[in-house]
Amino acid sequence: MGYQILHKSSWDRVDWGMSVLDSLEFDNRFTAELPADPHPSNVPHQAPGALFTRVEPTPTAAPEIIAVSDEVAELLGLSAEQVASDEFRDAMTGNLVLPGMDSFAMRYGGHQFGNWAGQLGDGRAINLGELVTPDGQRQMLQLKGAGRTSYSRTADGLAVLRSSIREFLCSEAMFHLGVPTTRALSLSLTGDQVMRDMLYDGHPALEPGAVVCRVAPNFIRFGSFELPASMGEIDELRALANFTIREYFPELWPDDGEPTPDTYVAFYNEVVKRTAEMIVHWQRVGFVHGVMNTDNLSILGLTIDYGPYGWLEDYDPNWTPNTTDKHGKRYRFGNQPGIGQWNLAQLGNALYPLVEDTDALQAAIDGYVDHFRNGHQDMMADKLGFAAWDTDRDESLMVELFELLQAAETDMTLFYRGLADVSTDEGVSAADRFAPLLDAFYVPDEQLTEDLQVRWNDWLDAYAARVRTDGTSNNDRRTAMNSVNPLYVMRNYLAQLAIDKSEAGDHSEVIELLDVMRNPYTEQPGRERFAEKRPDWARTRVGCSMLSCSS
Ligand code: AMP
Ligand code: MG
């Protein structure tokens, strides 16, 4: 089979029928089974009754791959030879559509910052096709930034290098941290320039265009269900729910025929549980999503759509990296668990026409609180090195800890790594007990007042006594804690340093960061600089402490 040529230069290169990518097999069930927009075009339009619109990526001027995730390539069964090929470069940048692909933009709606926004859809994401992997699974390949779709509204469908680096690196970092997430196969430059007003302050400038190839079983969002429900498109809603359950939650599909209202409730329950688990992970590693609109929440419970996200450096539950949200701070770190529940309630409303039983849906959403609390307690027990959570003893310790962490600027990541080194033996002096934590404080001279030092000493005494009741040795506790408390996270300033270099043509720091983040729990000699707390210059720099949606 031949290629569909989108880019003139590919024409010269393609060896018809002999391509190294010929062996790739696609099984496009989403487009095969769900209703398509009868008007496939990338001109903006409403698409009632459709769940997707077929659309092709836009060719680019001079595609160039900057980085590839070896782990994702392996997951997909791509060989080194394939990844190194010109065809791969062209396919990953929208310049070549491979045989078997069936590219499309998904139609969905969403609640943005608490308000219903109507039809949104993939405005700058184009799903290429569902690749069959060596283990017989299917993974959707999706290009972000490969041109306009019918859902682009007034925007250009493109992405710039800085935001693409951030998405590429963070999705892989999250995976290695053990957080459920979509993946990233490749990061490429398009060779085109893209106009962006980064701070929305009337200073537009040209920036290098880029494309990330994202990978996940699917990119179905809460908003994918909300839109047909809001339009009264109940057949389409049912088709999407049935498809999602049959393909991705097969254990819930009834043995003896079609789904019943109970099946949809069980499905909803499962999404409630997965979403709670995902957010527990975010709170564990200090990740702030930044734009938890319902169109950015995956039905699979994966972290999706890395935009103006950020990592907590000094522990501040009121922090959000997103400048668009700086007044209401709806999506601040400490609000993520509650927003997860709010978003799930919107999903429950969307599923109502299939269930028609408010009590059953209410019971499911009420379960969120328990799922989250239990998950959070287990997670905190792990972070603190306890054998198991004991609410009577541990709740007050946790509350005081969260207050102390905010009382003086304390680096969350370094704090938990330091705590693993604290001796819990009896008779250790207060100063010795505290010493491993000193490095976590940003301004100890000014902020670590005598009163605060006394509170820390008391807390550490209580903590040590609590650990001793478990009988865990200092060594065992350190090993256990260091397996859940990362040393290396995608600190905002680290990503920015990599971006600065890349924009100047040197992509080595992106590669290096990708490699550091492969082993976030293990000390890597020679790479100490990646574990350092935010330097002073990064405190207020754009890209380090604040980000806009203009990506
Ligand atoms: P986000 O907040 O990035 O999840 O985007 C919200 C909506 O805006 C989605 O429908 C996106 O597809 C769309 N969107 C964001 N940026 C662009 C862009 N540059 N071109 C077209 N659509 C976009
Ligand atoms: Mg989005």
pLDDT (tens digit, 9 = 90+) per residue, 293-343? 999 999 999 999 999 999 999 999 999 999 999 999 999 999 999 999 999
User: Is 141 within the bounds of a domain?
Assistant: yes
Q: Does residue 300 share a domain with residue 370?
A: yes
Q: Does residue 308 share a domain with residue 447?
A: no
- How are beta strands 96-97 and 64-68 bridged, if at all? unpaired
Q: Does residue 396 share a domain with residue 269?
A: no
pLDDT in tens, 391-403: 999 999 999 999 9
The answer, yes or no, to whether residue 11 has pLDDT greater than 60, is: no
Give residue 113 CA to ligand 2 midpoint distance, Å: 12
Task: Return d(Cα 464, Cα 423) in angstroms, integer.
Answer: 8
Cβ of 367 below 6 Å from ligand 1: no
Cβ of 224 below 6 Å from ligand 1: no
Neighbours of 44 (CB within 10 A): 16
Name the domain boundary from 176, 203, 218: 218
pLDDT value, residue 80: 97
Residue nearest to atom 5 of ligand 1 (CA): 123
Helix axes 161-177, 492-503, angle to 10 degrees: 140
Task: Return d(Cα 172, Cα 67) in angstroms, integer.
Answer: 12
Residue nearest to atom 3 of ligand 1 (CA): 307
Q: Does residue 75 share a domain with residue 25?
A: yes
Q: Does residue 400 share a domain with residue 503?
A: no
Residue pair 211/194 in contact (Cβ under 8 Å)? The answer is no
pLDDT value, residue 16: 52
Structure tokens at 334: 């400490």
Name the domain boundary from 332, 364, 382: 382
Name the residue among 280, 308, 281, 282 with its Cα closest to residue 293.
Answer: 308
User: Is 77 within the bounds of a domain?
Assistant: yes
Give residue 435 CA to ligand 1 midpoint distance, Å: 47
For 167-177, letters b (16+ CB in 10 Å) and e give bbbbbbbbbbb
Residue nearest to atom 6 of ligand 1 (CA): 120
Give residue 119 CA to ligand 2 midpoint distance, Å: 12
Pocket test for ligand 1, best of 143, 151, 194 (most atoms within 8 A of CB): 151
pLDDT value, residue 388: 98
Beta strands (DSSP E) in 179-263 are: 183-196, 205-216
Q: How would you write 114-152 as a 3-class SS string?
A: CEEEEECCCCCEEEEEEEECCCCCEEEEEEECECCCCCC
The minimum-distance atom of ligand 1 relative to the CA of 307 is: 3
pLDDT value, residue 547: 87
Structure tokens at 465: 């006594």
Cβ of 227 below 6 Å from ligand 1: no
How far is CA 83 from each of CA 72, 79, 137, 296, 521, rounded to the nearest angstrom?
11, 6, 20, 29, 28
Residue that has been written with the tokens 């045989």 in this structure: 99
pLDDT in tens, 367-385: 999 999 999 999 999 999 9
Task: Return d(Cα 498, Cα 310) in angstroms, integer.
Answer: 15
User: Is 376 within the bounds of a domain?
Assistant: yes
Give residue 225 CA to ligand 1 midpoint distance, Å: 18
User: Is 452 within the bounds of a domain?
Assistant: yes
Q: Does residue 358 share a domain with residue 305?
A: yes
pLDDT value, residue 320: 95
Give residue 154 CA to ligand 1 midpoint distance, Å: 10
The minimum-distance atom of ligand 1 relative to the CA of 305 is: 4
Residue 233: give the domain boundaries. 223-382
Structure tokens at 479: 């090993």
User: Is 487 within the bounds of a domain?
Assistant: no
Task: Return d(Cα 19, Cα 67) in angstroms, integer.
Answer: 22
DSSP 3-state assignment of 274? helix
Q: Does residue 332 share a domain with residue 419?
A: no
Neighbours of 25 (CB within 10 A): 14
Task: Return d(Cα 188, Cα 197) in angstroms, integer.
Answer: 22
pLDDT value, residue 5: 46
**Averaged pLDDT, 167-171:** 98
The minimum-distance atom of ligand 1 relative to the CA of 291 is: 2
378 is catalytic: no
Q: Does residue 141 share a domain with residue 51?
A: yes
The answer, yes or no, to whether residue 162 has pLDDT greater than 70, is: yes
* DSSP β-bridge partners for residue 208: 193
Of all ligands present, the nearest one to the C-alpha of 291 is 1
Cβ of 354 below 6 Å from ligand 1: no
pLDDT in tens, 45-67: 999 999 999 999 999 999 999 99
* DSSP β-bridge partners for residue 131: 26, 139
- How are beta strands 183-196 and 64-68 bridged, if at all? antiparallel
User: Is 486 within the bounds of a domain?
Assistant: no
Pocket test for ligand 1, best of 43, 120, 143, 207 (most atoms within 8 A of CB): 120
Name the domain boundary from 218, 240, 274: 218
Q: Does residue 520 share a domain with residue 466?
A: no
Residue pair 181/303 in contact (Cβ under 8 Å)? The answer is yes
Of 19 and 502, more confident = 502
Task: Return d(Cα 127, Cα 122) in angstroms, integer.
Answer: 9
User: Is 476 within the bounds of a domain?
Assistant: no
Q: Does residue 170 share a domain with residue 91?
A: yes
User: Is 543 within the bounds of a domain?
Assistant: no
Q: Does residue 117 share a domain with residue 23?
A: yes
pLDDT value, residue 278: 98
Residue that has been written with the tokens 């002073």 in this structure: 536
pLDDT in tens, 230-280: 999 999 999 999 999 999 999 999 998 899 999 999 999 999 999 999 999
How many domains is the chain built from? Answer: 4
Cβ of 180 below 6 Å from ligand 1: no
Q: Does residue 363 share a domain with residue 301?
A: yes
46 burial via Cβ count (<10 Å: 0-12, 13-18, 19+):
middle
Residue pair 116/109 in contact (Cβ under 8 Å)? The answer is yes
Residue that has been written with the tokens 């969350």 in this structure: 412
201 burial via Cβ count (<10 Å: 0-12, 13-18, 19+):
exposed
pLDDT value, residue 540: 84
Residue nearest to atom 15 of ligand 1 (CA): 123
pLDDT in tens, 64-122: 999 999 999 999 999 999 999 999 999 999 999 999 999 999 999 999 999 999 999 99
DSSP states of 351-413: HHHHH--HHHHHHHHHHHHHHHHHHHHHHHHHHHT-SS--HHHHHHHHHHHHHHHHHTTBBHH
Q: How would you write 199-217 as a 3-class SS string?
A: CCCCCCEEEEEEEEEEEEC
Which one of 90, 295, 325, 411 is the catalytic residue?
A: 295
Task: Return d(Cα 270, Cα 264) in angstroms, integer.
Answer: 10
Give residue 81 CA to ligand 2 midpoint distance, Å: 33
Residue pair 377/389 in contact (Cβ under 8 Å)? The answer is yes
